[in-house]
Chains A and B, each alone.
Chain A
Amino acid sequence: ELKVEQNPLFLSMQEGKNYTIYCNYSTTSDRLYWYRQDPGKSLESLFVLLSNGAVKQEGRLMASLDTKARLSTLHITAAVHDLSATYFCAVDILESGGGADGLTFGKGTHLIIQP
């Protein structure tokens, strides 16, 4: 059974600081995703990481993937209040027929960025 663990689950930080959220998964995965969820809202896709060593950046967020360590990180640079949200990582495994077996999500990291 595929398991996805995120840490920390709660994070309060000050604006301007840097921090990293970690996502570990238990078995070989074909794709890793990062999503953002604002309170009462749906999930917004941030990044899709497909291969070992993949790195993607958007604004103050950067995601990386190490498939050998089964680890992905989401790094926040010089945090601003607008980045306050819950961040989820998710992985999926392609079936032998090519279809995906549904996303397995981590518990989410509730991030609060204080002025």
Chain B
Amino acid sequence: KAGVTQTPRYLIKTRGQQVTLSCSPISGHRSVSWYQQTPGQGLQFLFEYFSETQRNKGNFPGRFSGRQFSNSRSEMNVSTLELGDSALYLCASSLGPSQETQYFGPGTRLLVL
């Protein structure tokens, strides 16, 4: 069974631009969560989607948004990029929102110049 896939794996953008990251969950998984990992703040929860609905959102500004499609694939978008948005963005999938284990993808490493 294929794992969680994320595209692109690496991305370089400049301040003020926007970016869209994609996540395909494990087949049959319907819940997708996004996390940001930085050296300073560590791993932080961004949001969670289930059945195309955002169930929870972490403490991030409105520039961070996401959506989920009917096939459970998810995208997250960051508008008006700031230097501090440079991070590893991890997507995790699980069977459902209350399921025990989240399986993480390889991540997208974003560098904002």
Q: Which residues of A contact B (CB under 8 A)?
A: 31, 33, 35, 41-45, 48, 50, 88, 90, 94-95, 98-108
Contact = CB atoms under 8 A, between A and B. Distances in A.
Contacts of B77: none
A102 B45 contact: yes
B56 A101 contact: yes
Contacts of A33: 101
Nearest to A105: B43
Nearest to A30: B98
A43 B90 contact: yes
A105 B42 contact: yes
B29 to A, nearest CB: 14
Contacts of A50: 100
A31 B100 CA distance: 8
28 contacts: A31-B100, A41-B106, A42-B90, A42-B104, A43-B92, A43-B104, A44-B104, A45-B103, A45-B104, A48-B101, A95-B56, A99-B48, A99-B55, A99-B56, A100-B56, A100-B97, A100-B98, A101-B56, A102-B33, A102-B45, A102-B47, A103-B33, A103-B45, A103-B102, A104-B45, A105-B35, A108-B42, A108-B43
Contacts of B48: 99-100, 102
B107 interface: yes
A42 B47 CA distance: 18
Contacts of A102: 33, 45, 47-48, 56, 58
Interface in B60-95: 90, 92
A99 B50 contact: yes
